[in-house]
Structure 1
């Protein structure tokens, strides 16, 4: 049994994790601990407070007691808002506190895009445009070309959590560009685990979503690979050898 730990802010789409655990169909356990979201606002100042070392540290003990072998900060905006170097420091601090390999959803997107050989990415973000632009800047710092960014202007994770299949598909379609290798939907408050194969069929290309890549990143940190077609191309493709 491989036990993966996730620090998830508040309550929005955390039910994606038991769904993903079931779809993995393997000896993998996903342990989710909720962190204090503070002010629920997609605003840089609120997001930095949400991702502070103190708030993340508060959930680490429970994950260690559960036997987690890695820990991922399951929040995109609460990591990329620090910038490339700041987000690195965030996960270094988390790793020191937990005594475990650590990462965040923002880095998971970069690593997952590289894994499937994607260089050009289109972003469909639930966030306001200024926050979505910060994610695009983060991706560029990670060596990816951003072909387009579509923001939905939603302020709270609570509202994002109410979105269903119709809204998720509309966001993905509006974000797609002809030259994009992959579409990124970066919000762990967005329910996507049930829609991945259908999204990829509809759009004709890989789709990477926040909770999907977060779980994949936890597996990557423990050197595990699981073939799970129900979780999209990321969980079926052979790794790309970077040169």
Structure 2
């Protein structure tokens, strides 16, 4: 049994994790601890506070007690908003506090794009345009070329959590472009776990979504590889990225 730990902000799409645990179909346990979201807003000041060391540290002891072997800050905007260097410091601090390997959803997107060989990607973000632009800058800092970026202008995670299949597919279609080798859908408040194979079939290319890459990153940190076609192309490829 491999236990993976996740610090998840608030309550929006945390039901993705038990669903993903089932879709993995392996001896993997996903342990989720909720952090205090503070102000629910896709706004730079609120996002910086959401990912502060104090808020993340508050959930670490529970994950340690659960036997987690790695921990991922399961929040895209609350990590990339710090910039590449700031996000690195965020996970270094988390790793020291937790006493285990640590990462965040933003880094997971970069490494997952490398894993599937996607040099150029398109982004369909639920965020306002300025925040979506910061995600694109983060990807570029990680060596990922970003083409089209579509922002949906949603302010709160609570609203994103209400989106269903129709909204998710519409966002992916609007973001896609012929030159993109993959489509990225950030925001761990977005329900996507049940749609990834269908999205990839419709777009004809890999689709990376926030909770999907977050779980993959936690596995990568422990050296585990799980073949799970129900989780999309990311979970059917070899080898693991070494960073």
| Contact preservation (8 Å) 2:114, 2:241 | no
Give a deviation string over 1:96-131, Cα, whole Å, max 9, x none.
000000000000000000001110010000000000
Give a deviation string over 1:55-90, Cα, whole Å, max 9, x none.
000000000000000000000000000000000000
Residue 91 of structure 2 corresponds to 91
Q: What is the rounded CA distance, in whole Å, between the counterparts of 1:106 and 1:34 in structure 2?
A: 18
Residue 211 of structure 2 corresponds to 211
Give a deviation string over 1:39-61, Cα, whole Å, max 9, x none.
00000000000000000000000
* Alignment of structure 1 residues 58-137 onto 2, 5 Å: 58-137=58-137
Residue 183 of structure 2 corresponds to 183
Task: Give the secondary structure class of the aligned counterpart of 2:148.
Answer: strand
Give a deviation string over 1:141-160, Cα, whole Å, max 9, x none.
00011011000000000000
| Contact preservation (8 Å) 2:206, 2:233 | yes
Q: What is the rounded CA distance, in whole Å, between the counterparts of 2:230 and 2:140 in structure 1?
A: 29
Q: What is the rounded CA distance, in whole Å, between the counterparts of 1:92 and 1:23 in structure 2?
A: 30
Do residues 232 (structure 1) and 241 (structure 2) align?
Answer: no
Residue 35 of structure 2 corresponds to 35
TM-score normalised to structure 2 length: 0.99
Residue 146 of structure 1 corresponds to 146
Say how many residue pairs are matched. Answer: 242
Q: What is the rounded CA distance, in whole Å, between the counterparts of 2:22 and 2:200 in structure 1?
A: 20
* Alignment of structure 1 residues 158-197 onto 2, 5 Å: 158-197=158-197
Q: CA deviation at 1:240?
A: 7.1
Residue 20 of structure 2 corresponds to 20
| Contact preservation (8 Å) 1:123, 1:148 | yes
Q: What is the rounded CA distance, in whole Å, between the counterparts of 1:124 and 1:177 in structure 2?
A: 11
Moved more, 230-239 or 161-170: 230-239
TM-score normalised to structure 1 length: 0.99
Residue ranges of structure 2 left out of the alignment (5+ in a row): none
Deviation >2 Å, runs of 4+: 239-242
